[in-house]
Amino acid sequence: MSTSEPRIPGRRFLHSPGPTPLPDAVLHAMSVQPMDLGDPRVGANIAACERGLRGLLQSDAADVFMYASNGHGVWEAVIQNLAAPGQAVLVPGTGHFSESWALQAEALGCRVVRTPWREGWPIDAQAVEQALRDDRAHEIQAVFVVHTDTASGVTSDVAALRRALDAARHPALFVVDVVASLGAAPFAMDAGGVDVAVGASQKGLMCPPGVGFVAVNAKALAAAERCTAPRFYWDWVRRRDAMPYRKFCGTPPQNLLFGLEAALGLIADEGLDAVWARHARLAAAVQAAVQGWREGGVLDFFAREPASRSVAVTTIAVKPGAFEVDALRHVAREQFQVALAGGLGPLNGRAFRIGHLGDSNPAMILGALAGTEAALRSMGVPVGEGVPRAVRALAER
Ligand SMILES: *Cc1c(COP(=O)(O)O)cnc(C)c1O
């Protein structure tokens, strides 16, 4: 922070759905001096991250490739390893994130088959099955699924989509983007029949932005070996090497990886079931508050179906013309020290979002909800009582 800015007393609550707040243990783990690539700590750290990610993804079979990259980078890795220019992929519609991934695949020369996005609803597994059945020549190489679309706050049913591929008897690879859901919502790569899982460091994993990763099973690795798309930095085949620097196609992002190792350790110590239960409990508190706020008639859940509301992020739809979403974010951030996210893509100006994933607890969530409600009230937005409902939701569980 520049010295001319006034100090913020206390802490600003970060409630974007990524980046998310860092645990102190992660911050401390990153404050190490860089080391030469032959230092045994480099290899040990990389191995620990790979082990931790396999545990978190619940996969024995997978090769893990990590990149100095954000989520968009690993999207590109998936595209270039699995679909050459002219080949097709199927991207089921989830909103902003599926469309962004689809546009990236098209920019790299792929043909994209889409299923329609219905606002507020998860992926339609029947439409996916039909699109695969219609592809009689089996031109579709892979299905790219966004598990939780961070813009809509909707989580789709991975198991139902796996069944759709199986029912259509289509050999396409099943690729799932768990950037926003990993470490928040239940996910099991091997048991779920997922061929490639795609993640990034800055959301449920409680690390700074800068590390993207993919886990790749044997079937997907074989497809990558056959794939003729020109590539170098992202190439899985080239990165399959015992030498740490070869695994990163250059220098690994060492300090970030020390943070990642620490974060994976925190998740393992808490236990995956406990981490998922904590996210479900905190999400229920947020949803209880929104249930109260919507009584004012201008706010509502964007996700129509309670079962598909994300445990990581809640998207709150704003009645058109009721108030400026950016003004709310400004008041919440500057006066109440709660950083909220806005609406993305087609939801720009139509929604705001509260992230509730990663390193969070009941008091932090109540603080964020109270700051948000105070901001709404100070702007004169009509809302019902939200915070007391959140308190009760937490007290009763
Ligand atoms: C955040 C996000 C991405 C993109 O990650 P960046 O690190 O911002 O590039 C991709 N998919 C999902 C589901 C996300 O939430």
> What average pLDDT is seen over the chain?
96
Instruction: Determine the pLDDT at residue 62.
Output: 82
Residue type at 255 in one-letter notation? N
Q: Which of 150, 181, 313 to mutate to test the pocket of ligand 1 (most atoms within 8 A of CB)?
A: 150
Q: Which of 19, 21, 26 is nearest to 256 (CA)?
A: 26
Q: What is the pLDDT of residues 76-119, one digit of tens each?
A: 999 999 999 999 999 999 999 999 999 999 999 999 999 999 99
Our CA angle for 4, 15, 262, nearest 5°, is 95
* pLDDT of res. 3: 62
How distant is the alpha carbon of residue 176 from its chain centre?
11
Give me ligand 1 centre to Cα 71, in Å: 5
pLDDT values of the chain reduced to their tens digit, one per residue, 397 residues: 556 777 888 999 999 999 999 999 999 999 999 999 999 999 999 999 999 999 999 999 889 999 999 999 999 999 999 999 999 999 999 999 999 999 999 999 999 999 999 999 999 999 999 999 999 999 999 999 999 999 999 999 999 999 999 999 999 999 999 999 999 999 999 999 999 999 999 999 999 999 999 999 999 999 999 999 999 999 999 999 878 778 999 999 999 999 999 999 999 999 999 999 999 999 999 999 999 999 999 999 999 999 999 999 999 999 999 999 999 999 999 999 999 999 999 999 999 999 999 999 999 999 999 999 999 999 999 999 999 999 999 999 7
Q: For the segment 158-214, what is each residue's pLDDT rounded down to a tens digit?
A: 999 999 999 999 999 999 999 999 999 999 999 999 999 999 999 999 999 999 999
**At how many degrees (to 10) do helices 125-134 and 158-167 cross?**
30
Ligand 1 center–CA 354 separation, angstroms? 16
Q: CB of 19 closer than 6 A to ligand 1? A: no
Q: Is 180 in the pocket of ligand 1 (CB under 6 A)?
A: yes
Task: Specify burial of residue 321 (Cβ count, 10 A radius: 0-12, 13-18, 19+).
Answer: exposed
Strand-pairing partners, residue 174, are: 143
Return d(Cα 16, Cα 139) in angstroms, integer: 38
**Pairwise CA distance, residues 359 & 196, whole Å:** 26
**Residue 97 Cα, ligand 1 centroid: separation in angstroms?**
7
Closest ligand 1 atom to residue 18 Cα is: 1
Q: Which two tokens stand for residue 19?
A: 């980046």
Domain chopping of the chain, boundaries = 13-20+272-396, 24-269
With a 6 Å cutoff on the Cβ, whether 71 touches ligand 1 is yes
What is the third-level CATH fold of 13-20+272-396?
Aspartate Aminotransferase, domain 1 (3.90.1150)
Secondary structure class of 71 (helix, strand, coil): helix
Tokens 């099955």 map to which residue? 129
- The per-residue pLDDT for 8 is 82
Task: With residue 288 as reference, give the H or E element that holds it.
Answer: helix 272-293
How many Å lie between the centroid of ligand 1 and the Cα of residue 179? 6
Residue from 16, 67, 72 whose mutation best tests the ligand 1 pocket (most atoms within 8 A of CB): 72
Q: How many CB atoms lie within 10 A of CB 44?
A: 12
Distance, in Å, from the CA atom of 397 to the CA atom of 388, rounded to the nearest integer, reads 14
Helices (H) and strands (E) in the chain, counts: 14, 15
Whether residue 154 has its Cβ less than 6 Å from ligand 1? no
Q: What is the DSSP string of 303-320?
A: SSSGGGB-SSEEEEEE-T
Q: Please tell me the predicted confidence (pLDDT) of residue 2.
A: 55
Q: 24-269 — its CATH code?
A: 3.40.640.10
CA 390 to chain centroid, in Å, comes to 24
Give the residue from 112, 136, 138, 116 showing the smallest Cα distance to 126.
Answer: 116
Helix (H) or strand (E) holding 41: helix 40-57
Provide the 3-class DSSP secondary structure of residue 297: coil
Count the residues in the chain: 397
- Cβ-in-10-Å burial (0-12, 13-18, 19+) of 60 comes to exposed
- Residue found by looking up tokens 């299905």 in the block: 143
- CA atoms lying within 13 Å on the CB side of residue 270: 20
pTM: 0.97
